[in-house]
Amino acid sequence: MSTPETSRFVRLRVELVLEVEDADEVTKAALQRIAGDPELPGEERAHAETAVTEDTAEALAHLVDPFDLVGEVPGIELQQASWSSEYVSYDPDSPDWDLDGDDGLDDDEEDRIG
């Protein structure tokens, strides 16, 4: 679809639900990632280390990076990214977790996206 009205910008929404089977391993991996970041200033490094040690969801946020997800995709340039992690109550049988369900987009928006 290449009409003059079509924007070159695409918002890609990804939602993941992960089960943490070993919180210590997640924390250890996040601490290794932080230690290996030469561009992270000392004060920020100390804050990040404290955050990932106290909160597994925060540790996971340090390990999952949208830049890593799309960095090698040809023909695109990442303009903006944000992400967060939080603990959730997960019930795969609940309609609240229906990934194919209503996402708030109208039919025209869905047609343009996919």
What pLDDT, in 10s, does the model give residues 11-60? 988 888 899 999 999 999 999 999 999 999 999 999 999 999 999 999 99
CB within 8 Å of 76: residues ≥ 6 apart? 70
**Whole-number Å distance between alpha carbons of 69 and 78:** 10
Give residue-wise pLDDT tens across range 60-97: 999 988 888 898 999 999 999 888 888 888 888 888 77
Distance CA 78, CA 11 (A): 10
The model's pTM is 0.69
Q: How does residue 1 score in pLDDT terms, banded at 50, 70 and 90?
A: low
Distance (Å, whole) CA 84 – CA 58: 8
pLDDT of amino acid 34: 96
